[in-house]
Amino acid sequence: MTNYKDIYRHCCMLCSQENILLHKYCRDGVKMSVQSILNTAASLLSLTSSQPHTRARGVQLLSEVLQECYGDLTEREVEVLIAFYENRLKDHYVITPPVLRGLKALTKCTVLPPGSAVSMLRSLFQDVHVQSLMLAERACVYNMLINLMETREAELKGLGADFVFGFVQSMDGERDPRNLLLAFQIAKTIISRGYDLGKFTEELFEVTSCYFPIDFTPPPNDPHGITKEDLIQMLRAVLTGTPKFAEFLLPLIIEKLDSDVQSAKLDSLQTLTVCVSQYEHKDLAEFLEGLWVSIRREVFQTSSERIESACLAALTALTSCLSRSVLSSESEDCLSTFLDLVLKDCKHHLSEPDLKLVWPSAKLLQASCSASIRASHVITASVMPNIVEQYNIWSHYNLLCFPLCVFPPPLEDSVFLAYRESLCSMVFSALSESNSSLQITATSVLTSLGQQTGDIQPVDLGHICLQSERSLSSCFSQTACLPSALMDQDNTEASEKLSHHAVRQRCLSALAAVSVHPSVVQESTPVLLEVLSSAHTGSVNFLVEEVVLACRSLQRIAEQVQDTEETGRCFHEVIIPRLLGLTLQAALQDEGSSGHRSPLVEEAVLSAMVPVISTSCSRLQPQLAEQTASRATSLFLNGDVSFLPDNSFPSHIQLQSQMVCLLMGCVHCRNELLSELEEMSCTCTHTLSYTSAAKCFAGLINKSLQGALVLQTIVHWYVSTLGLLKASRYSIVFFNPQVAKALLVRYHPLSTTLTDKLFSLLDNTDLGSMAADGFSLLMSDSADVLNRACHADVRIMYRQRFFSENSAKLVQGFNAAPQEKKPNYLKALSNIVNKLPKQVQVTELPALLSLLLEALSCPDGGVQLSTLSCLEPVLADPPAALIQQLEALVSRLLALTSSPAMDVRIASLRCIHALSRFPVHEVLPFRAQVLRALARPLDDKKRLVRNEAVQARGEWYDGSC
């Protein structure tokens, strides 16, 4: 009965406390929980009831109140409450759940009196058997622990190993995944915050490791969203958290690696990879052999790629752990012991004639190699001689792959330095093999060799490269030796030719890839030039794509090579003159038209040459670039061939007009050049020529100084001649936008004159349509000349600026234009709007809406299509102005669904689809009309149209009822 007296005493105390609280709340004013506290205080009498269930209700009520207002309690109040609750833990079992809830609320108090955390936990561990509680109460206990560990770490550590023991007892046998996540979190904190494990290390390991490996399938429709992966990650964090677990964990992993379940193996390997990053060699020493045997077995036998890569990752982690360890004078070197083990089991496979285990062995060796420099030294020293020897016997490409595999990780190059010679000879002999996969592997090795910068001296690389050239040229000559007669024979030979094409491509790109260092470039570029010149003369048969590729390789070299005087000279004094010379020869020869047509007159090749010149001019050695530009200009203007090699040109040559495109690479401002270019772009009929000339002209205009007289006069003169329309029509409509663009992108005030001219051309009967297309050119990004890479003066947001300045003009012009000219305006509008960034489109379009709607009924299919593509994103978030015009929009879109062009039908159906997402009250009036109209495209002859119609019609049925 003393028990009940106790309760009563507490209760009275509590009542008076509550009264005080109550007064305080009343004084402070509004608090939601006041009423509930009042009720609690009234019903607290039930705490003294002789019925356990009644008492439980009382405690429950109190706990609920505490959950609401734990933040407002004073230290004294908390102390009393804790004493009360601790006492209640000894009461009847039905009272335990509400007591735990109350205690959990109290653990969140900031004013927890010192010592109370410890006393709370002592009574908890003593009086409650956690695993016999219900799920929610167990969670309650875990949450209490988590709360206390967050705020009272020092106090809990004072409990010593008892705390760990208490926790181990509480979680022993837990089965619910939600609670397990909490328990793992506690265990992880215990380990990571350095709580004293005492003699309970093994117990803590046992109680958590019994879940390893996790096997859990969430029930369908699981509302908690706990996945197997969550549990795996949490448990792994616990198990790998401390080296103290090593002696228990490693045997467990070895055991689980024997398992038949794939996921268990995978989990074990990943856990191993993580845990060794924490361990030292002495933790590992006694299990090394077991681990290695398991890993080796898996790699040799498994068919699963995931397991294999997990094994290799684990091996790498193991080796790097061993490499990291500090040796004392008397201990043995774990790393070399381990690597001996690896080598003993792998090396002999490399020399087995059946080659079956070569690949897995190479992978294992490579994995241990990549762990550390020390490991790679040991393994390379032991394996390389063997590989070289084997390669000489078998020439199997698996063997060649080994050095290839070893290269990618950023290792010290000195590892291979000793074997450079033999490696090179291996690569070169592979290059001359007939097996094309072997050749491709070899070029890759060569590429990675070339990319290694660091210890390898440039001289060495040059040496390698020199040899590689020889083999490359031998390769070329071999492929070229295939008689051209093969070309029109049967399929097998054609495919062989194809693979030769692949080899050539590889060679060219390998050559470009290795050319980073200036001295290498000195050696590699002549090879590429040789390719070009033999293609030109026809001594070796090259496809046009291969010639283009050679140009690309040169461009790539120009992009990546270090900018030194040496390379600058190489490009500006050797390569560019050579390129110009060859092209010129080709062009002249073409006039004479002998039997062989040089690929160097092809537009594709010329266009590929332009970036070589422009990259070298913009990247390498400004003074030399200037010199090149002026030479090229004088070549173009005066036919000055003095700087070209192989000077066998006639003294007076008439330049081929298409050579002008090479000028795009390097323009140098001279007045006579401007007029020459202007002349050419307005009179020439050859497309490539007049477009290139116009681009060069635009580039010059763009770069000439602000306010320069030449600029003003040129533009004024130009505008006046434009009025006379003396020029060929096509070129003039190309020329004007180019020049206008050159000025527009640098915000030059004169640009308005030119764009106004373009606007006025829209009214022209013949040129109106092409002028409208000119706006597309004006607004789009330029791939050559007028971009930042070519040092053009390009300001940001010139498009927006142009649009905001000119949209009103466009609307005005449209309104004033006669009916038959209106389509030109609409086309121009759609060209301009299409290139604007989407955000600008969405904000600017409402102003132009009536015009766009007009454009939908314009007969031009292109205008319809681009208008529809402008409209579609706007429809996703319709402005109010659009909703007002809904009727017109719907009827126009529906009319377009029977357009003759498939694209227009599809785009209009998409817009109709988007309309269905408008607010229901807006679209409901059109529902019947739309559904009826969409019945027709359901029977369209094109499937793609039908698909859109089905989706749109479904949405209209769906969204508006």
Partner 1 sequence: LVGGGAMSGGTRLENANPVIFQRSGERQLTASEEDDDVHDPIDDREIFDILSINDPEHPLSLEELNVVEQVRVKVDDAGSTVGVEFTPTIPHCSMATLIGLSIKVKLLRSLPDRFKIDVHITPGTHASEDAVNKQLADKERVAAALENSSLLEVVNQCLSTRSV
The binding site for partner 1 (CB under 8 A) comprises: 135, 175-178, 180, 211, 214-224, 231, 900-902, 935, 938-939, 941-944, 946-947, 950-951, 953-955, 957-958, 961
Per-residue tokens: 714: 């040129």
Smallest gap from residue 861 Cβ to partner 1 (A):
11
Q: Which is nearer to partner 1, 210 or 724 (CB)?
A: 210
Contact 14, 44 (CB under 8 A): yes
Q: State which amino acid sits at residue 776.
A: S
Contact 434, 476 (CB under 8 A): no
Q: Which is nearer to partner 1, 665 or 937 (CB)?
A: 937
Smallest gap from residue 729 Cβ to partner 1 (A):
30
Q: Which is nearer to partner 1, 199 or 941 (CB)?
A: 941
What is the distance in angstroms between the CA of the first residue and the CA of the last residue of the chain? 71
Q: Which is nearer to partner 1, 530 or 860 (CB)?
A: 860
Smallest gap from residue 950 Cβ to partner 1 (A):
4
Smallest gap from residue 327 Cβ to partner 1 (A):
42
Distances in Å between the Cα of 942 and the Cα atoms of 98, 902, 906, 946 are: 69, 8, 10, 6
Q: Which is nearer to partner 1, 178 or 569 (CB)?
A: 178
Q: How far apart are CA 661 and CA 672, in angstroms?
A: 17
Instruction: Please tell me what DSSP assigns to residue 782.
Output: P
Smallest gap from residue 918 Cβ to partner 1 (A):
14
Q: State which amino acid sits at residue 559.
A: E
Smallest gap from residue 874 Cβ to partner 1 (A):
20
Per-residue tokens: 937: 């495209």
Q: How many CA atoms lie within 13 A of 391 on its CB side?
A: 25
Could you tell me how far CA 574 lies from the centroid of its own chain? 39
Task: Find the Cα–Cα–Cα–Cα dihedral 103, 104, 108, 109, rounded to 10°.
Answer: -10
Q: State which amino acid sits at residue 98.
A: P
Alpha helices in 482-570 (DSSP H): 491-514, 518-537, 544-560, 565-569
Instruction: Please tell me what DSSP assigns to residue 766.
Output: T
Distances in Å between the Cα of 634 and the Cα atoms of 68, 592, 642, 672 are: 89, 24, 10, 10
Q: Which is nearer to partner 1, 135 or 816 (CB)?
A: 135
What interhelical angle do 305-324 and 334-350 show, nearest 10? 140
Q: Which residues have CB under 8 Å from 620's CB, separation 6+?
A: 558, 561, 563, 567, 568, 571, 572
Q: Which is nearer to partner 1, 216 or 643 (CB)?
A: 216
Smallest gap from residue 930 Cβ to partner 1 (A):
13
Q: Which is nearer to partner 1, 135 or 883 (CB)?
A: 135
Q: How far apart are CA 886 and CA 204, in angstroms?
A: 70
Q: How far apart are CA 960 and CA 953, in angstroms?
A: 11
Q: Which is nearer to partner 1, 134 or 373 (CB)?
A: 134
Q: Which is nearer to partner 1, 261 or 498 (CB)?
A: 261
Contact 261, 228 (CB under 8 A): no
Q: How far apart are CA 687 and CA 151, in angstroms?
A: 79
Smallest gap from residue 900 Cβ to partner 1 (A):
8
Contact 576, 628 (CB under 8 A): yes
Q: Which is nearer to partner 1, 132 or 812 (CB)?
A: 132
Smallest gap from residue 139 Cβ to partner 1 (A):
12
Q: Which is nearer to partner 1, 723 or 900 (CB)?
A: 900
Nearest by Cα to 369 from 357, 385, 380: 380
Smallest gap from residue 883 Cβ to partner 1 (A):
21
Q: How many CB atoms are closer than 10 A to CB 686?
A: 15
Smallest gap from residue 133 Cβ to partner 1 (A):
14
Q: Which is nearer to partner 1, 732 or 949 (CB)?
A: 949
**Peptide bond between residue 220 and the one before it cis (omega within 30 degrees of 0):** no
Q: Which is nearer to partner 1, 260 or 330 (CB)?
A: 260
List of E strands, 63-184: none
Q: Which is nearer to partner 1, 173 or 408 (CB)?
A: 173
Contact 89, 123 (CB under 8 A): yes
List of E strands, 649-712: none
Contact 239, 249 (CB under 8 A): yes
Smallest gap from residue 944 Cβ to partner 1 (A):
6
Smallest gap from residue 234 Cβ to partner 1 (A):
12
Distances in Å between the Cα of 660 and the Cα atoms of 586, 654, 666, 738, 860 are: 14, 12, 11, 16, 36
Nearest by Cα to 655 from 674, 671, 634, 672: 634
Contact 366, 373 (CB under 8 A): no
SS3 473: helix
In degrees and rounded to multiples of 5, residue 613 shows phi and psi of: -70, -45
Smallest gap from residue 588 Cβ to partner 1 (A):
42
Q: How far apart are CA 175 and CA 135, in angstroms?
A: 9
Smallest gap from residue 960 Cβ to partner 1 (A):
11
What interhelical angle do 902-915 and 886-896 show, nearest 10? 150
Smallest gap from residue 211 Cβ to partner 1 (A):
6
Q: Which is nearer to partner 1, 177 or 458 (CB)?
A: 177
Q: Which is nearer to partner 1, 134 or 494 (CB)?
A: 134
Smallest gap from residue 548 Cβ to partner 1 (A):
26
Q: Which is nearer to partner 1, 217 or 651 (CB)?
A: 217
Task: Find the Cα–Cα–Cα–Cα dihedral 648, 654, 659, 665, rounded to 10°.
Answer: 80
Q: How far apart are CA 675 and CA 681, in angstroms?
A: 10
Smallest gap from residue 298 Cβ to partner 1 (A):
24
